[in-house]
Amino acid sequence: MEIGKTIIYLGLILVVIGIVLSFSGAIPWIKNIGRLPGDFVIKKENMTFYFPLATSLLVSLFLTLLVFFYRKLFR
Q: Which residues on adjacent β-strands are paired with residue 49?
A: 42
Q: Does residue 57 contact residue 40 with C-beta atoms inside 8 Å? A: no
**Residues in contact with 37: Cβ distance below 8 Å, sequence separation at least 6, in sequence order:** 54
pLDDT score at 1: 61
Q: Does residue 42 contact residue 48 with C-beta atoms inside 8 Å? A: yes
pTM, two decimals, is 0.59
- Is residue 72 very low, low, confident or very high in pLDDT (cuts 50, 70, 90)? confident
Secondary structure letter of residue 33 according to DSSP: T
pLDDT digits (tens, 9 = 90+) for 7-62: 888 888 889 888 877 877 776 766 667 778 889 999 999 999 999 999 899 889 98
